[in-house]
Structure 1
Amino acid sequence: MKTPGDKTAVDWLVSAAPDPDACRWEWERNPLGVALLPAGRLWDVLILPGELGQATLDVLGRLLDRPGPVLADFGESRMGFFVPPGTASRWIGTGVRGAGSGTWIVVPYPGRATGGVRWAVLPDGRGTLTDPALLELAMHEAAAQVLAGECRNP
């Protein structure tokens, strides 16, 4: 179901496309409800393994009123955190993939159900992104929690 904030989220997302009007037109008519949008202009995406990604999102939820947008793929085997442009090229971390300049990401239409990727945190339409330093701290905390959980349940 659409909410009033969905329109501004769509406006912000399509503004990353080479032709925003064509992107919006195609996206709104796409039966799959997804579009390919370029990373590296308005955002980069750091992609974490699902368990670490969910734990990181939980930690961020305790630290912030609202983190930047977060994507989850089917089955939540991976989660993508939207961070400022340029972050992916500077990020060094085991098991973390970066989508930055020259890459494209599959983005679901805000508020529309798809069979695959979904929004774990919708874009707010204002361009709020997750601070990479805060994301790194949250990942460290989350990794410790995941590891402690694995140690208790061999």
Structure 2
Amino acid sequence: MTNAMWMRGVEWLAAATPDPSARRREWDLGDGTVLLEAGRHWDMVSVPRQLGLLALDILWYDPLRAPGPTLVDSAACRVGFFVPPDPVGRWVGAGIRHASRGSWVAVPPPCRPARSVEWIVPPDGSGALHPPLPLELALRRAHETLAVLTPVSAD
């Protein structure tokens, strides 16, 4: 990621808050993450790590579209996909969480990880997000793949 893209990513993320300059200072002076409210410029769909990484891999197969901003939280074992506010996708399923207006998300700056949270696909500042339908389809395919790979207990 170039320095200009990193700066545009920082500005785009900070714009989701009432006081963007305060968020930028927190990234510079704090422990690395800031809490950003979902629902203004983006929502976040958070899924278990294995499901999310497989879905992201499926999304990379589309030669016409790069995946949108995506976080991984190693401590919580979750992957977060940034989607448009109030997407039409049905975010239902075991372990799937939809953070929208009124929800807060710990976000590191696009250039570096912070504690256990880091960007897999950092925002480039363009405002590009994961389109809901391709993400929903990728999550379904990933879930189906994991269901086949998960051994059945013989209890």
The TM-score with structure 1 as length reference comes to 0.89
Distance 2:97 2:35 in 1: 18
1:55 is aligned to 54
**Per-residue displacement from partner, 1:5-37 (whole Å, max 9, x unpaired)?**
11000000000011111211222111x211111
Amino acid aligned to 2:38:
A
Describe the shift of the 1:39–1:89 C-alpha distance in structure 2 as closer, same or farther (beyond 3 A).
farther
2:110 is aligned to 110
Query: Could you say what the CA RMSD is over the residues aligned between the two structures, in angstroms?
Result: 2.3
Show structure 2 runs of 5+ residues with no match. none
Amino acid aligned to 1:91:
W
Residue 132 (structure 1) shift:
0.9
Describe the shift of the 1:14–1:54 C-alpha distance in structure 2 as closer, same or farther (beyond 3 A).
same
Describe the shift of the 1:58–1:146 C-alpha distance in structure 2 as closer, same or farther (beyond 3 A).
same
Residue 122 (structure 1) shift:
0.5
1:149 is aligned to 149
Residue 90 (structure 1) shift:
5.8
Describe the shift of the 1:94–1:113 C-alpha distance in structure 2 as closer, same or farther (beyond 3 A).
closer
The TM-score with structure 2 as length reference comes to 0.88
1:26 is aligned to 26
Conserved 8 A contact 1:88-1:99: no
Amino acid aligned to 1:35:
V
Conserved 8 A contact 1:44-1:100: yes
| 1:106 counterpart SS class | strand
> After the TM superposition, which parts of structure 1 deviate over 6 Å for at least 4 consecutive aligned residues?
none
| 2:79 counterpart SS class | strand
| 1:48 counterpart SS class | strand
1:127 is aligned to 127
Distance 2:34 2:26 in 1: 8
Distance 1:43 1:53 in 2: 18
Distance 1:96 1:111 in 2: 27
Residue 140 (structure 1) shift:
1.2
Show structure 1 runs of 5+ residues with no match. none
